[in-house]
Structure 1
Amino acid sequence: MSRNLNRLSLCAAAVGALAISALSIAPSRAAEDAVIIPAPTTDVQAADGIQTAVIAGGCFWGVQGVFQHTAGVVNAVSGYAGGSKATANYTLVSSGATGHAEVVEIKYDPKKISYGKILQIFFSVVHDPTQLNRQGPDSGTQYRSAIFTTSDQQKKVAEAYIAQLNAAKVYRKPIVTRIGPLEAFYPAEAYHQDYLTLHPNQPYIAYNDIPKIENLKKIFAENYIEKPTLVSSAKITN
């Protein structure tokens, strides 16, 4: 069975006891899991031109969806990192044996949003960074929490921020997010791109991911944009 069907069946089982109205955009367990956290005390120095951040926080559908609703993000592409090009496809990655994580490559304008703010949104509303190799109904190393850095400065900021959050004890358990250099990013198949926007009523999306968009709007109102920046229409200029 494909991972698409697995996700659908897992979510269907989880929401089967709910009324049909609960599949509309309504508060759920996922919405309650968002954590209000402090901004990082250090950040990447602003630079000219479009910059890149690559993060992993469970299924890439929801991660991509959040950042497509984030001001300053000019493109957010679902894909794979941490493994080889030869095995960077959904069927093999879903086995958990390729070393990849489902990631989102975020192209952003540092004059409108900082790397630190991207990390704050990532740790607050995108996922639970204390879960090891799983998020929600999805389990396996391909769903690990990870930050793939593109510079030494990103590495230092990410490490410092995790230390800051752990010291502040904003979570009940320690953060397990892995930090490592990005060796390569491989875009996911076309049918994975813009998935949240194209399938808002699919049970998995409605239950696990729509609440993340709601939390972005509520907790990071100044960074939220109503109209998503889709891969199908993104225009990037440096």
Structure 2
Amino acid sequence: MTRVLLLGGTAEARALAKLLHPGVPIVSSLAGRVPDPALPLGPVRIGGFGGVEGLRRWLHDERIGAVIDATHPFAATITAHAAQVCADLGIPHLVLSRPAWDPGAAIVATSDIEAAEIVQQQGFSRVFLTTGRSATAAFVDSNAWFLIRAVTAPDEPTLPRRHQLVLSRGPYRVEDELALLREHRIDALVTKNSGGDMTRAKLDAAAALDISVVMVSRPQLPHGVRAVPSVADAADWVACLGPR
């Protein structure tokens, strides 16, 4: 059967690997930014590819016949690289993209920088920031106090002057999120539109407490890529692949 590269690191990627293993020769790839990551079933490689040319060489050397991108919706760089290389090489390519959250009454921002500007403009004073370790730099000069939740600690120079750091990973429960928001007297939640159930509880808790939400919208997928919303859809796509 076709050898498949699964760009992973998400719950959906692990679920797909479990569904396909051992019948499909699949190699999962993790970026390596998270210590002690949850590993999928089957062979795993950890670390970057070295840009577009590195990914091109790796796919050739490993005789990969198809690529499934099941990375985080905001992992725009690897998504763009995979789309470009697969198009160049004529390799079947699929993006497994979990459905986005409905922003509802949230204030939608197009970037972390715009989200920081909104926090300043709205005069929010105690912010629950859940945009990930790489996004805290946009808030460095903010006057607000931040409760920052991330899987791994951001670099010290990228942290706002006034903050408290909480290191944890989902899934989270609504009752725990309610307690957290109340304890820290949060008046705004800043989050990325990651979608999925693992971290949705913060949105439900914010809605229950009438707390404002600033939501960073997702980057657009590269032009022309095929995307499916579910693990089952991705498995069906693999089942239709011919030998390469």
TM-score band (shorter)? under 0.3
Structure 2 length normalisation: TM-score?
Answer: 0.25
Q: TM-score, normalised by structure 1?
A: 0.25
The structure that is strand-richer by fraction is 2
Relative to its length, the structure with more helix (as a share) is 1
